[in-house]
Structure 1
Amino acid sequence: MSSPVWTTPSLEWLAAGIALLALILSARWLPWYKLRNDNEAQHVFFAGIVCLVALRFAVFDKIPGLSLHFFGAAIATLMYGPAFALWAMALSVLVAAFTDAGLWLGVAPDFVTGGLLPVVWMQVHHWLVRNKLPNNVFVYVFATAFLGGALTVVVAQLARAGVVAFLVDGAATQAAHNYLISAPLMMFGEAFFTGGAMAMMVAYRPQWVASFDDDLYLKPPTDE
Structure 2
Amino acid sequence: MTAPTLPTFFHVVAWGLSLVALAVAARRLPWFKLRGDGEAQHVLFGSVLVLCLLRFAVFDRIPGLHLHFIGAGVVSLMFGSGFALWALGLASLVAALSPAGVWLGLAPDFIACGLLPVLCMQLARREVERRLPPNPFVYVFVIAFFGAGLAVLLSQLLKAAVTAWLVSGAARDAVEGYLASAPLMMFGEAFLSGGALALMVAYRPQWLASFDDGRYLRRPD
TM-score w.r.t. length of structure 2: 0.91
Partner of 2:123: 124
How far apart are the structure 2 equivalents of 1:77 and 1:153? 13
Partner of 1:220: 219
- Cα distance, 1:127 vs structure 2: 0.7
Whichever residue aligns with residue 115 of structure 2, its letter is: L
- Cα distance, 1:104 vs structure 2: 1.0
Call closer, same or farther: CA 1:189–1:214 in 2, change over 3 Å.
same
Whichever residue aligns with residue 130 of structure 1, its letter is: E
Partner of 1:32: 31
Q: Please list every run of 5 or more consecutive structure 1 residues that lacks an aligned counterpart in the other structure.
A: none
Alignment of 1:9-28 (within 5 A): 9-28=8-27
Work out whether residues 51 and 71 of structure 2, in 8 Å CA contact, stay in contact via their aligned partners in 1. Answer: yes
Identical-residue share of aligned pairs (%): 56
How far apart are the structure 2 equivalents of 1:178 and 1:169? 14
Measured against aligned partners, the alpha-carbon deviations of 1:94-121 in whole angstroms (never above 9, x if no partner) come to 1222323221111111111011000000
Partner of 2:192: 193
Call closer, same or farther: CA 1:36–1:159 in 2, change over 3 Å.
same
Whichever residue aligns with residue 207 of structure 1, its letter is: Q
How far apart are the structure 1 equivalents of 2:188 and 2:66? 15
SS in 2 for 1:69: coil
- Cα distance, 1:175 vs structure 2: 2.2
How far apart are the structure 1 equivalents of 2:185 and 2:93? 23
Measured against aligned partners, the alpha-carbon deviations of 1:183-219 in whole angstroms (never above 9, x if no partner) come to 1111011111100000011111111101101111111
How far apart are the structure 2 equivalents of 1:39 and 1:158? 39
Partner of 2:152: 153
Work out whether residues 118 and 155 of structure 1, in 8 Å CA contact, stay in contact via their aligned partners in 2. Answer: yes
Call closer, same or farther: CA 1:176–1:195 in 2, change over 3 Å.
same
Call closer, same or farther: CA 1:7–1:93 in 2, change over 3 Å.
closer
Measured against aligned partners, the alpha-carbon deviations of 1:149-192 in whole angstroms (never above 9, x if no partner) come to 11111110111112112212333344223212221111011111
Whichever residue aligns with residue 55 of structure 1, its letter is: L
Call closer, same or farther: CA 1:221–1:7 in 2, change over 3 Å.
closer
How far apart are the structure 1 equivalents of 2:145 and 2:80? 17
Q: Is 2:98 the counterpart of 1:99?
A: yes
Call closer, same or farther: CA 1:43–1:122 in 2, change over 3 Å.
same
**Which 10-residue stretch deviates more, 74-83 or 172-181?**
172-181
Work out whether residues 113 and 159 of structure 1, in 8 Å CA contact, stay in contact via their aligned partners in 2. Answer: yes
Work out whether residues 62 and 173 of structure 2, in 8 Å CA contact, stay in contact via their aligned partners in 1. Answer: no
Work out whether residues 89 and 111 of structure 1, in 8 Å CA contact, stay in contact via their aligned partners in 2. Answer: yes
Work out whether residues 59 and 69 of structure 1, in 8 Å CA contact, stay in contact via their aligned partners in 2. Answer: yes
How far apart are the structure 2 equivalents of 1:59 and 1:163? 19
- Cα distance, 1:8 vs structure 2: 4.2
Partner of 1:54: 53
Work out whether residues 23 and 87 of structure 1, in 8 Å CA contact, stay in contact via their aligned partners in 2. Answer: yes
TM-score w.r.t. length of structure 1: 0.90
Work out whether residues 8 and 105 of structure 1, in 8 Å CA contact, stay in contact via their aligned partners in 2. Answer: no
How far apart are the structure 1 equivalents of 2:66 and 2:160? 13
Q: Please list every run of 5 or more consecutive structure 2 residues that lacks an aligned counterpart in the other structure.
A: none
Alignment of 1:161-180 (within 5 A): 161-180=160-179
How far apart are the structure 2 equivalents of 1:7 and 1:152? 23
